[in-house]
Chains A and B, each alone.
Chain A
Amino acid sequence: MTNTEWESLSNQAVTVCGIVYFLALLAHSAQWASLRKLPADETPEIGQTALYGRLGVMLTAIACAVQLVALVGRGMAADPNRVPWGNMYEFVLTATFAMTVVYLLLYRKYSLAWLAPWAVGLVFVTLMLAALWLYEPVAPLTEALSSPWLVIHVISAITATGIFSLGGIVSVLYLVKSRSEEKEKARIKVAAAASAAGGDGGGEIALATREEPRRGFLARVPSPDNLDRFSYRLHAFAFPIWTFAVLITGPIWAHYAWSRYWGWDAKEVWAFITWVVYAAYLHARATAGWKGRNAAILALVGVATLLFNFIGINYFFGGSSQHSYAAPAPTSVVESAPMVEPGPALL
């Protein structure tokens, strides 16, 4: 196949996988629409609802495979062939792929049915935004990017980003769920107090305070404790990968490409901030009083810094970062010290 053919194959694959993700999202929506009507402790193993669920997961797997084709196509379309990590469009394509792979791998082990619509929805939306706004034709890498460190640095940064994002979703769900649970507790307490005060006969107390199986989406989301633990696992998994990406491979590559291993460039500053925030998250989980809610908030701050570093730096700090691979090569002529090769590199 020629390069152009590979490129159009990749573009078609992105379209197809977008559509399939959308179908998967529909299947999960249908599943949840009918699950809502059932009590939370009742999950049909057969029948239409279960079928929708399985269909959703299967479609997600198919979309994920097609996405892999899209990625391979990007790499094959370049001359010389390369890893498909040369610009933001390709990063987003890969990060969403990593996210889906992790989600699918963990699906069975952690019974992630409750996460399905959120994970698939996020992947779908991100992918579409990337296709609309970030698309760039395949191009050869700039000189500073042509390095074996590109492969190892970017794959780790992207994988960590994908997993941190999943952790972010779980943290949001944690906050929502624990809030609703608190409300529920308060309601039971108030009801109990009211009926105790009114002495309105035992029947009503029993009714109001009974732990009735609840319905609706939130009821099916695992307990806050479990969410907290799952979120911790995701973050604990991603943190060493992120450490490897920004504090080991990044500096090594920067040493070869720019002659300094750490230069407090805007992108480096924010990668450091992200790292510190997630280190704080891990500390928070070990600190009494910061567990749960505060830790979840820190995890969200982490996602915010991560995204800001990924997108914000390129658009707001465009020319001033050596890493601005999104903007056209910035010009900088320094009178006494001309920095002539603004090697646009990654992350």
Chain B
Amino acid sequence: MAAPDLNFLELMRWFWRQLTSMRTALVLLLMLALAAIPGSVIPQSDVDAAAVERWQDQHPQLTPIYEWLGLFGVFDSVWFAAIYLLLVISLVGCIIPRTVKYWKGFRAAPPKAPRNLLRLQDSASYTTDVPAEEVLEQATALLRKRRRYRVVVTDEAVSAERGHFREVGNLIFHLSVLVVLAGFAMGSLFGYKGGVIVPVGSGFSNNLAQYDDFVPGSLMGIEDMEPFSFTVDDFDIEWLLSGPRKGMAQHFVAHTNYQETPGGEDKEYDLRVNHPLNIGGTSIFLIGHGYAPNITVRDGNGDIAYSGPTIFLPEDQATFTSFGVVKAPAAEPQQIGLEGLLYPTYLKVDGNPTSVLGDDRNPVLSMQAYVGDLGMESGESQSVYVLDKDKAKLVKKEDGSMFRVDLQLCAKDAKKCASDTVKLPNGAGTVTFDGIQPWVRLQISKTPGTGIALTGVILALLGLLGSLFIRPRRVWVRARREDGVTVVEVAGLDRSGASETKDEIVDIVTALGGSPSSDGEEKQA
């Protein structure tokens, strides 16, 4: 396309013109749509880190290539950013010259009537006995008052224009896209989000060490963390026992007690789904719940090596069968580890242990025990939900057969109940199921710039409405005396290309008292 003898400056100018053309905007928009697709097909580490790991295990060969292409983080990738940055540049380059042009057009008077009005697509003419000046006066008043045109009268014609604000709408819309981007960027640069599981009865104070997982924005500082703290005092939940959603839980409420600053006033809040607690710029959301059985492990010497609520993670939302791990590194003579399942409402169905409800009506623990080195001294950080069994030994019965730590929390009036304490073989120790309590999973996040982004989209929407629904149009009325009658010509031009002015012309002619012998319409037919 470019002629070969362009010098550098001309080349740059050519390039800039291309970049800021509508066609380029169109192509970039389509590219943006295409580029977003992999982000929905390939697991994204920001959205579901576990899914990414699973995918990577299954596709060892593709993984390095995908990683290099940034396909596990499409929306942070260089090429995705390249597309939207180009789009932004194109947008700015497109909008600024238009603002200037728009400003000039806004102040300019409506243009003079073309010589031959009837040549325009939407036009009509009629004859009348009313003097020409009077017709023009009438037309001026009509267009100005009833139809809110901006009107200029020249010798024998009226020029009128309206809908100037369409361009304003368009400009606002496009500029708001930048505002939204700015708000979005602020959130990801200066914000943070983290998750924590808090058993009922326990507390949390907002510092890094207390989080289970934490994702800081790249420019976020520790001083951005508000120094609040809270305790979860109680948790209510209702289980549906009939109907098509049988087994579903409803109306979760975590009753919390919080202080905005250390030593500050005690306040209460009932935390529910869809109703976060806001402290300063930070919001606390209730996003999950589960059970933490109270487990006590005594070692071979009879000393308590571990005791307390132990978080079990639900594996199944319908039954809340949950998986958990107990680590007692202080146990003597050998460390003791346990892992296994919690059935909140235990029932044996066809010989298989299951939970029939998410409610904790008959909690049963069924775990396997390990003794030996739990790998906790290696210095590497360990997940509390994973037991390192590499150097530990599975505990078996003395005769070598399978051994399980099966514990049931017995109701007082229970007739048949397994024990709530089990002795480990070989005098390794005992495990006791002391009680059970719910935990809640909280997401704590701070997203600065949310207001900016929201303002941006709302402005964008308003601008869009103006840009789409304001119809800029011009109308001309010419009247002249010819052979003792007044010949009136009316013509209109729609400047948005989205509609026509035929009806408008007919209306105007009728209002002026003529009957549209519409030349224009005949031409159309």
> With A269-B36, A334-B50, A336-B385 in contact, do A257 and B461 touch (Cβ < 8 Å)?
no
Q: What separation, in Å, do the CA atoms of A342 and B47 have in the docked complex? A: 12
Give which listed residue, A142, A262, A284, A313, contacts B26 with CB less than 8 A.
Answer: A284
Give which listed residue, B48, B273, B383, B498, contacts A229 with CB less than 8 A.
Answer: B498
Q: What separation, in Å, do the CA atoms of A313 and B465 have in the docked complex? A: 30
Asked whether A207 is an interface residue with its Cβ less than 8 Å from the other chain, the reply is: no
A336 B273 Cβ-Cβ under 8 A:
no
B230: min CB distance to chain A, Å: 16
B244 A335 Cβ-Cβ under 8 A:
no
Contacting B at CB under 8 A, from A268-326, are 269-270, 272-273, 276-277, 279-280, 282-287, 289-290, 305, 313, 317, 320
Asked whether B182 is an interface residue with its Cβ less than 8 Å from the other chain, the reply is: no
Q: What separation, in Å, do the CA atoms of A217 and B46 have in the docked complex? A: 53
**Chain B contacts for A335, CB-based, 8 A:** 50, 383, 385-386
Give the size category of B's interface with A. Answer: 35 or more
| Chain B residue at minimal CB-CB distance from A287 | B22
Asked whether A114 is an interface residue with its Cβ less than 8 Å from the other chain, the reply is: no
Q: What separation, in Å, do the CA atoms of A240 and B465 have in the docked complex? A: 7
| Chain B residue at minimal CB-CB distance from A328 | B318
B445 A283 Cβ-Cβ under 8 A:
no
Asked whether A233 is an interface residue with its Cβ less than 8 Å from the other chain, the reply is: yes
Asked whether A143 is an interface residue with its Cβ less than 8 Å from the other chain, the reply is: yes
Q: What separation, in Å, do the CA atoms of A236 and B283 have in the docked complex? A: 37
B248 A142 Cβ-Cβ under 8 A:
yes
Which of the 9-residue segments A99-107, A174-182, A197-205, A248-256 touches chain B?
Answer: A248-256
User: What count of chain A residues pass the 8 Å CB interface test?
Assistant: 71
**Chain A contacts for B37, CB-based, 8 A:** 269, 273
A340 B457 Cβ-Cβ under 8 A:
no
Asked whether B481 is an interface residue with its Cβ less than 8 Å from the other chain, the reply is: no
Q: What separation, in Å, do the CA atoms of A81 and B43 have in the docked complex? A: 37
> With A144-B274, A269-B40, A335-B386 in contact, do A248 and B454 touch (Cβ < 8 Å)?
yes
| Chain A residue at minimal CB-CB distance from B195 | A337
| Chain A residue at minimal CB-CB distance from B249 | A143
Asked whether B62 is an interface residue with its Cβ less than 8 Å from the other chain, the reply is: no
A262 B184 Cβ-Cβ under 8 A:
yes
B469 A236 Cβ-Cβ under 8 A:
yes
| Chain A residue at minimal CB-CB distance from B464 | A240
B244 A343 Cβ-Cβ under 8 A:
no
B273 A329 Cβ-Cβ under 8 A:
no
A260 B447 Cβ-Cβ under 8 A:
yes
Q: What separation, in Å, do the CA atoms of A342 and B249 have in the docked complex? A: 12
Contacting B at CB under 8 A, from A331-347, are 331-343
Asked whether A216 is an interface residue with its Cβ less than 8 Å from the other chain, the reply is: no
Asked whether B458 is an interface residue with its Cβ less than 8 Å from the other chain, the reply is: yes
Q: What separation, in Å, do the CA atoms of A162 and B11 have in the docked complex? A: 47
**Chain B contacts for A289, CB-based, 8 A:** 23
**Chain B contacts for A149, CB-based, 8 A:** 274
Interface residues of chain A, those whose CB is within 8 Å of chain B, are 136-140, 142-144, 146-147, 149, 229, 232-233, 236, 239-240, 243-244, 247-248, 251-252, 255-266, 269-270, 272-273, 276-277, 279-280, 282-287, 289-290, 305, 313, 317, 320, 328-343
Name 12 extra pairs, CB < 8 A, besides A233-B499, A264-B47, A273-B33: A247-B461, A263-B46, A269-B36, A276-B29, A329-B318, A331-B317, A334-B48, A335-B385, A338-B385, A339-B288, A340-B288, A343-B287
- Please, could you name 5 A-B residue pairs with CB atoms under 8 Å apart, sorted by A? A140-B250, A285-B498, A332-B48, A336-B385, A338-B313
